[in-house]
Each structure stands twice: as structure tokens, then as C-alpha cells.
Amino acid sequence: MLVNSKEMLQKAKEKKQAIFQFNINNLEWTKWILEKCNELKVPLVLRGGSGLSNEILQKCVNAGITKININSDLQNIRNCAIREFIKKNENIIDPRKIISSGMEMFKMEIEHKLNINNSIK
């Protein structure tokens, strides 16, 4: 069944659900969707937020984006930390120690991203 965007956003609000996905290729659609989501108090998720500058991330939050997916950034930072650990500790073969070595950098990056967006004080 086809429904217009207004109906879709209203149903999502009533059921407390997020909208699956919009593929947007122009500023007018982006602006309209942001306005409607803000008006209806429907959360909006930015997929593919990895690689965006801190300035762009802040602008997204200010525009009303309520969730930004940055998994690729986080995994890259974690993987780099693990590689560095392996270089410095060639004799350690315990996979728990190797894998956990990246968690501190992972946590630091999450904290950094949250601070960028004033999400934590």
C-alpha cells in the first residue's frame, strides 16, 4: 500500500517507530524531511556518518538528526589500536588481550564524538 510522507511520519510517531530510510539527493527534500520530523517529534537517523568532519556532525545535530551512525570510524580506530598493540607485543598470543587492546581507543573516540555534539557535560 502506498502512503504519502505525511501519513508515514504520523504513523511512525503514533507507534514510536523510526522511518526506515530516505535516499535524499537534493536540499529541498532534506530540509522538508528535517522540518517534518522535528514537527512530528519523530527521530531521524543519519546513516553513513563515518568520515564526516566534526563541524558537519555538529550541524547535523543542530538540524535535528537524533542518531548518527559512525560504526566504520569506530571500527577503524579500534583496528588501528589493535595493530599497534600487536607490533609492540609480538609475543602475546592471547586473542582476548589482543582484541581488548583496542577498546580504550574505541571508548575515547565515542566520548570525543559525544563531546563534539554536546551530548554529555
Q: What is the DSSP letter of 48?
A: -
Average pLDDT along the chain: 80
What CA–CA distance (Å, rounded) separates 29 from 82?
41
* Phi, psi (rounded to 5 degrees) for 68: -125, 120
Q: Long-range contacts made by residues 45-52, C-beta under 8 angstroms, separation at least 24?
A: 45/18, 45/69, 47/21, 49/73, 50/76
Q: Is the pTM of this model over 0.85?
A: no
Is the separation of the CB atoms in 84 and 109 below 8 Å?
no
What CA–CA distance (Å, rounded) separates 27 from 31?
6
Q: What is the pLDDT of residues 16-66, one digit of tens each?
A: 776 656 666 667 777 787 788 778 777 777 778 888 888 888 888 887 777
